[in-house]
Structure 1
Amino acid sequence: MSDGAGTDRPGRAGASVRLHQLFEGRRLTPTQRRIAHCLVRQAASVPYLSSVELAELAGVSQPSVTRFAVALGFDGYPALRRHVRELAPVGPEEEAHPNNPYQQAVRAEIDNLRHLADLLADPGPVAHAGRLLAASRPLPVLGLRASAAPARGFVYFTAKVHPDVRLLDEGGSLLADRIDAARQAGASALLCFALPRHPREVLDALAHARATGLTVVTIADGTFAPVAAHSDLLFPAAVGTGLVFDTVSAPMLLGQVLLEAMCDALPDAQAHLEEFDARAAARGLFVD
């Protein structure tokens, strides 16, 4: 997927995109991924944070921050901080930090959406994925644990335009059987929502899906997520971590973007929607 580097405007969004490039293709530990997420979210303030302050923000130890910088090829955290400062100098005109944690969580989520907009500067990869998913009959959609809700929402809307979409939201020994059944019924692709924390069985399921010949399209919390090695097409969308539980506005919106691309690739999508509206009206399903 395009990382939006062509949109080289100064400021927080541009710095986040270029930071994202720094992590692409690297195998990071869960602790290192947590630090990477924090760097992307706090791109404007990182150049002025000490390793101790960054560790506190990311919820890790200070030595973990140092090891993270070394893993990225820097001599230590000061060298990484200088590099981040060169990516996007921050001036006094930058937006002030919000005054309470609720505002901070909302504004961080807004930053995630801005970052997603930058990543979608090239619509080609999304259009390609939309064609792959639209052509799969049936279309299995995988989402376990925290990813079950966005997967279920995607399936609800997709069923209005796709003739056979199947939700895979339960793990266990039957998961591989359901993937096999979809493949035997003619499926050619699988869509996976993979948001933290990542269940180990998701990795096993994706490896199995690819082994059967399915093309795996994944919406994940970053290109350095553990599912990256098991995906043919990976679309990153950051989750918010400012509250007790993650917020997933960007991944859910990205799912709707993929569905829009699917509708563009489904010649009968509009006809199916009109048929549904007619049936809903006849049955009095909605009050509006």
Structure 2
Amino acid sequence: MGAEIIMGGGADQPIERRIHLSYGRFTPNERRLADLVLEFPGDLAAYSATELAELAGVSKATVSRFFRRLGFPTFEEARRVSRDAREAGSPVYLASSGADRSEGDENDIALFLRDETDAIARTLGRIDPESIGRIARAIVDARNVVVLGYRNSHHLAAYMRGLLAQMRRNVELVPNGGDTPGDRLAGLNGDDLVIVVGMRRRVAPLEKAMTALHGLGVPVVLITDPTARGLPALARETVVCETETRVLFDSYASAMAVIRLIAVSVVRLKGEVGRRHLESVEMLHEALGELES
């Protein structure tokens, strides 16, 4: 869903969470419709069922069936929920597909700069500050923190683990060396926290690991991109980062910014305890001569 935060639980689940919970059971046409709605859920209130069907390239009957499967008696009820969320100021629903992304006469570097800054702005502009606060609090309170990531996401996970390890103990990176996730995730429970970094293209073991953690009652925070489907339903909190630009290769600038934002929030929560831990790390660096002066 764009760059949004997807919350867990509750009787009045938002549209995007209902979609993620049911995504694996959708027909191909329903998935096309789901992808359209997830990109800009705030635009839903602006369209009739006929217009939405045309945009998604599906029938009007598919639209009606899709929203009934999500638990809405009618399409109008889904539009009302979208409109109410937009009026309440939800950053997920305030974002619109009408944003200006024209290229103009920019040269390659100017285009690259605009794409990178635009991805960061769209990501941070749609994040709920209260959710970042909850994530930071969970990191501070957890007995153990495990940061999990595969492929390109592993580098982002390592960056996050490095930041968090400077301000608290018991922070692990998974997978690490010759370990498998099972080696490190065994024994975790509701007192721990797993932060999953899952950018496209994700590997199959990621969903399996998240499913296992969900079954064990281990809290999970998911940092991902707009293409994630189903995974947010397995997480307590989800932060979605924009990665797609108009040039080759995904951009991880917004993901790095989000990780740093979370780390800064943790430092503020830890207060003096966090600063003392950071100082002890720096003293060891100096004593061991590990870093350039």
Q: Same fold (TM over 0.5)?
A: yes
Q: For 1:33 and 1:239, how far apart are their aligned partners in 2?
A: 20
Structure 1 residue ranges without an equivalent (≥5): 5-20, 44-62, 75-86
Q: For 1:217 and 1:202, how far apart are their aligned partners in 2?
A: 13
Q: What are the residue-to-residue correspondences of 1:162-177 with 2, within 5 Å?
A: 162-169=168-175, 174-177=180-183
**Residue 151, structure 1, aligned to residue 142, structure 2:** no
Aligned residue in 1 for 2:231: 227
Q: What are the residue-to-residue correspondences of 1:105-184 with 2, within 5 Å?
A: 105-120=112-127, 122-169=128-175, 174-181=180-187, 183=188
Q: Residues 132-181 of structure 1, C-alpha deviation per residue, up to 9 Å, x if partnerless?
A: 12211221111011210000111112111111101113699932332114
Q: For 2:173 and 2:133, how far apart are their aligned partners in 1?
A: 22
Aligned residue in 2 for 1:14: none
Aligned residue in 2 for 1:51: none
- Among 13, 19, 41, the alignment partner of 1:26 is 19
- Among 253, 270, 273, the alignment partner of 2:275 is 270
Q: For 1:134 and 1:100, how far apart are their aligned partners in 2?
A: 45
Q: For 1:278 and 1:257, how far apart are their aligned partners in 2?
A: 25
Q: CA deviation at 1:239?
A: 0.8
Q: CA deviation at 1:250?
A: 0.6
- Among 202, 207, 210, the alignment partner of 2:206 is 202
RMSD: 4.0
Question: More relative contact order in 1 or in 2 (CA 8 Å, sep 6+)?
Answer: 2
**Residue 239, structure 1, aligned to residue 246, structure 2:** no
Contact 1:101 1:242 in 2 (8 A): no
Q: CA deviation at 1:99?
A: 3.4
Q: Residues 219-271 of structure 1, C-alpha deviation per residue, up to 9 Å, x if partnerless?
A: 11138544112111111111134343211111111111111222223241100
Contact 2:220 2:236 in 1 (8 A): yes
Q: For 1:150 and 1:173, how far apart are their aligned partners in 2?
A: 18
- Residue type at the aligned position of 1:284: G
Identity among equivalent positions (%) equals 18
Q: For 2:57 and 2:251, how far apart are their aligned partners in 1?
A: 28
Q: What are the residue-to-residue correspondences of 1:89-104 with 2, within 5 Å?
A: 96-100=103-107, 103-104=110-111
- Among 268, 276, 288, the alignment partner of 1:283 is 288
Contact 2:200 2:227 in 1 (8 A): no
Aligned residue in 1 for 2:84: none
Q: 1:89 to 1:199 in 2, by over 3 A?
A: closer
Q: CA deviation at 1:116?
A: 2.1
Contact 2:32 2:56 in 1 (8 A): no
Q: What are the residue-to-residue correspondences of 1:243-258 with 2, within 5 Å?
A: 243-258=247-262
Structure 2 residue ranges without an equivalent (≥5): 6-13, 44-53, 68-74, 76-95
Q: What SS is found at the alignment partner of 2:277? A: helix
TM value normalised by structure 1: 0.66
Q: CA deviation at 1:195?
A: 0.4
Q: 1:254 to 1:97 in 2, by over 3 A?
A: same
Q: For 1:130 and 1:234, how far apart are their aligned partners in 2?
A: 13
Q: For 2:59 and 2:242, how far apart are their aligned partners in 1?
A: 19
Q: 1:171 to 1:280 in 2, by over 3 A?
A: closer
- Residue type at the aligned position of 1:285: E
Q: For 2:205 and 2:108, how far apart are their aligned partners in 1?
A: 34
- Residue type at the aligned position of 1:149: H
Aligned residues: 233
- Residue type at the aligned position of 1:282: A
